[in-house]
Amino acid sequence: MSLARRLSTGALVATAVFEIALLIATGVVRRRIARYGIEIGATLPSVTGYPLHYRSSFFAAADGCVIYRVVSGSCAACRLEEPLWRRATWAGAGAGCEIVLLTPDLEAAPYPAPSLVPQIQWVPLDWARSVRLAMTPTTIATVNRQIVWAYQGELDPGHFAALERRLEQWPGK
Amino acid sequence: MKMPSTGVVSEVVIAIVLLSLSIAGVRRLRDQIGTLESWRVQVVAVDSYLPSRSPLFATLGGITSGGTGAAMLTRPPGTRYFVAFIAHAASFRGDVALWTGVQQALAPRGDVRLVGYCDHPGCEGDPAAGAKHPPFAVIAYTDYRTARVLLHADADRQALVLDGDLAALGSVGWSERSRPSELATAIARLM
């Protein structure tokens, strides 16, 4: 075998090994991100709880389509995406989805939002155990308690379109 | 000069194409590692119950089982220390009995308040639990952040000892077999 042939074969093999290592590393990192982040397909029980002023009624989300918005009164990005939410009429009765606001700690409450949208402050411990919320804003869409879409960070119109597409596949719509 | 064979050229071209395709993959992997690291730092910080000078969370408060009332939304007068623990639904009666003993052992101090959290909203009201009305608040619904820190500590079988501003002084390990007097001594040592 000529030197050129040996070199080219060696380069090809090295490249293939590199690609395989890259694929494995990407897979491992993705799995770890899912561990720290929110895993699509995981089960998230419907939230129950109380608003900040607990004398308001006890709240229990329905089992169908629920969109959780994890927000904070001090989160500028949350307020920036607010006009998009107000325009996103599909997220309401049209798509049959219930929107629930969650303020993850007392310092995050209250969040300025339309009063018709339930805002939950006090959650049961077993619900808190079921999801790891690392930042605000975080948006999680569940259908029959299964996470079908999630995004951590400020949403833009592209994200809304992706969420809309995902929820259009919901057979219960 | 001898020209390289078609096979050599093909292999070199394939290697170059593969490498160029992998540039995007390397960039994506680098971004993902950055995201992972920032989340890891955030998550560890959010759930940590290690001793600190700043408050672990904003509140110990919440709603009691069955929504019968709010508890611990403000600091009770004279309280300098809090002990926060999870009373498990599966062993609620035993857990409450143990912590009632701890409460009695710490009572002479007069500046410690115990706060129990139920790991299931129904545990306090469940007749099967059969516990007498505990001499401390048992909270079933609390703040998400508070819940996460308590759950993290409980996963390590620890109860948290906090000062009046909710900064962690430390934690004490406990189990169903713990003796209330020994637990009270360990708690008092942290104050």
Residues whose CB is less than 8 angstroms from the CB of residue B101 and which lie 6 or more positions away in sequence, other chains included: B180, B181, B183, B184
* CB proximity list for A49: less than 8 A, separation 6 or greater: A58, A59, A120, A121, A122, A123, A124, A127, B141
Tens of pLDDT along B97-111?
A: 999 999 999 999 889
Q: What is the ipTM of this complex?
A: 0.76
Distance (Å, whole) CA B116 – CA B111: 17
* pLDDT at res. A48: 85
Whether A126 sits inside 8 A of B5 (CB atoms) is no
pTM: 0.76
What letter represents residue A41's amino acid? G
CB contacts, 8 Å: B86 with chain A: 125
Chains A & B: contacts with CB separation below 8 Å: 128
Report the C-alpha gap between B117 and A136 in whole angstroms.
25
Q: Where are the alpha helices (DSSP H) in B52-155?
A: 92-106, 144-155
Question: Could you tell me the two tokens for B112?
Answer: 């410690």
Flag if B63 and A122 touch (Cβ within 8 Å): yes
Question: Across the interface, do A33 and B43 touch by the CB < 8 Å criterion?
Answer: no
Nearest to A50 among B42, B63, B120 (CB): B63
User: What is the number of alpha carbons within 13 Å of residue A138 lying toward its C-beta?
Assistant: 17
- For chain B, residues with pLDDT lower than 70 are 1-4, 38-46, 66-68, 124-132
What pLDDT is recorded for position B163? 93
Q: What is the DSSP string of B44-108?
A: HHHH--S--SSBSSS-S-EEEGGG--EESSSPPTT--EEEEEEE-GGGHHHHHHHHHHHHHHHGG
- Tokens standing for residue A122: 């006090």
Cβ pair A19:B58 closer than 8 A: no
